[in-house]
Structure formats: structure tokens, C-alpha cells
């Protein structure tokens, strides 16, 4: 008399059928493990490559403030080159304290470079400014005019508005546009100060709306920036979006991407 079986019971007439079923299951499991292992290796390799590129070659950076206008706009996405100044703990992910100083030693930023650095206030907040003074330089601002080592940095007025002046400034062969409020501001007069060893003096191109080396840390600026805090040099814009248009109705979204800025270099 046959024993009753549950409706969902598997049917294996002989012990050999059971062994065959087990063997087939093991083969399928092994094949799945091999496929998953291959996928894991590909994903792991891609993550390792991305981490290496981010640590040693390029790191993405987003402009979130107007301090570098008009050259850099809020919503610009940049590639920051890591290798020009060598590497420090602050140019590595998580600022791991693997070594002190910069490696290799001796690589310095140049006057006029646009750089990303960690604020000396907390050594973790990213800032982007233009390098103005190198170690040993004397830096001053007189009525909005930048003075480097006792010599006024050349500038030429450009078309502006009643409330804002624009100048094309030329520093160490680098030409760029800076903006000033038409009205006098406290930041229009500063110094002179001498940049200490292993430090840089930074300014924003939006001279009256930039927390830079003219302001001490206690006043919300960055003071003199240690060389070890440099992350890298701004290289080029790879994407740019007008976020104000994204906050409007969808009919404006098509023009939110600023295609004319993609590829812009510094």
C-alpha cells in the first residue's frame, strides 16, 4: 500500500534519483558561485580603479558659492587634478594620516592657479580660491587694487554695471576677470602682510564676496593656507547646471544645462 504524500512533495522513485538531484543542485550552486565571484571581481576592480583615480589623478568638485564668479558659477562641476602639487594627507580620501608634508616634496602652486584646499579651520571643509601670494611674498589690497611685493597687479576695466565693477587682472601671465562692488567695502583695504614659509595667500575672484586670506579664521576666512592643505588644481568644467532654473517649472529645465561651459579650463 502506497504511503500518502503531501501535494507539494518531490518525487524521487529511487535513492539514485535523490543523489542525482543533489548533484544537479550542487552543480547549479557552483556555477552560480563562479558567476557571482566573477561579478564581484569586476565590481571590486572598478571600485579600486575609481578610488585610485580619485586619490591620485582627478577628483570631482562642485561649486556651491559665488566667491569665484564670474569665472566659476554655482552649479559648475569640475575635475581637480591631484598630481601637479604632489600629495598630502588632505589630498587623499578621508585625509588618512599616512605621511606628513607633501610627496614628492618641492612641488608648489603657482601664482594665478585656481586650487581646491581644505580650510585650516577644520581641515575638512573644501574651499576653492586663486593663489595670489607664495611663501615670502608681500600682499596688500589698496582701495580694491591688488598689490604684490609692492607693485600693483595690472588690471583693465571691463564693461560693468552701476553697482559692480569688473576688471581683467593679469598675474604671472595669467589673465582672468575679477568683480568689485561699486561701493567701498571693508575688504577693499588690507595689509600688507608677508606670506609665511609653506603657506599661500588666497583670494576669490568675487573680491567683495569671498571668505579668503584677507580674513582670519576667527572672522570666518581661511587666513594663510598651509601647503599641506592643498587638494589639487582646478582643471576643467565637465558639467554645469543652473540650479535656479531646476527649481522653476519643468518648461525651464531644458535650458538648465549650461553646455557652453562644459570643457572650460583654468
Active-site positions read 67, 129
C-alpha cell at 208: 567683495
The set of residues, in sequence order, having a beta carbon less than 8 Å from that of 56 and lying 6+ positions away, is 82, 83, 87
Q: How many helices (H) and strands (E) does the chain have?
A: 2, 14
Q: Write the DSSP assignment of 170-237 as a string of letters.
A: EETTEEEEEEEESS--GGGSEEEEEPPTTEEEEE-SBTTS--STTS-GGGTS--SEEGGGEEEEEEEE
Rounded distance between C-alpha atoms, residue 222 and residue 121, angstroms: 7
Amino acid at each position: 500500500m502506497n504511503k500518502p504524500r503531501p501535494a507539494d512533495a518531490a518525487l524521487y522513485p529511487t535513492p539514485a534519483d535523490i543523489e542525482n538531484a543533489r548533484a544537479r543542485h550542487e552543480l547549479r550552486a557552483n556555477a552560480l558561485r563562479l558567476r557571482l565571484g566573477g561579478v564581484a571581481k569586476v565590481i571590486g576592480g572598478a571600485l579600486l580603479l575609481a578610488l585610485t583615480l580619485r586619490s591620485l589623478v582627478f577628483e570631482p568638485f562642485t561649486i556651491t558659492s559665488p566667491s569665484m564668479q564670474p569665472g566659476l558659477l554655482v552649479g559648475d562641476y569640475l575635475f581637480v587634478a591631484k598630481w601637479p602639487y604632489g600629495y598630502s594627507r588632505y589630498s587623499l580620501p578621508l585625509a588618512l594620516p599616512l605621511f606628513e608634508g607633501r610627496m614628492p616634496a618641492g612641488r608648489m602652486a603657482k601664482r594665478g592657479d585656481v586650487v581646491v584646499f581644505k580650510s585650516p579651520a577644520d581641515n575638512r571643509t573644501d574651499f576653492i580660491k586663486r593663489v595670489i601670494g607664495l611663501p615670502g611674498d608681500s600682499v596688500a589690497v589698496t582701495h580694491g587694487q591688488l598689490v604684490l611685493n609692492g607693485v600693483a597687479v595690472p588690471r583693465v576695466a571691463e564693461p560693468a554695471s552701476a553697482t559692480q565693477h569688473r576688471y581683467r587682472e593679469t598675474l604671472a601671465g595669467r589673465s582672468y576677470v575679477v568683480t568689485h562692488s561699486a561701493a567701498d567695502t571693508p575688504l577693499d583695504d588690507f595689509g600688507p602682510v608677508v606670506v609665511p614659509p609653506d603657506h599661500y595667500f588666497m583670494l576669490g575672484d568675487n573680491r567683495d564676496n569671498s571668505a579668503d586670506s584677507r580674513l582670519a579664521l576667527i572672522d570666518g576666512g581661511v587666513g594663510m593656507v598651509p601647503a599641506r592643505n592643498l587638494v589639487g588644481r582646478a582643471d576643467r568644467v565637465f558639467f554645469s547646471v543652473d540650479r535656479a532654473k531646476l527649481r522653476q517649472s519643468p518648461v525651464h529645465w531644458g535650458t538648465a544645462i549650461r553646455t557652453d561651459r562644459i570643457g572650460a579650463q583654468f
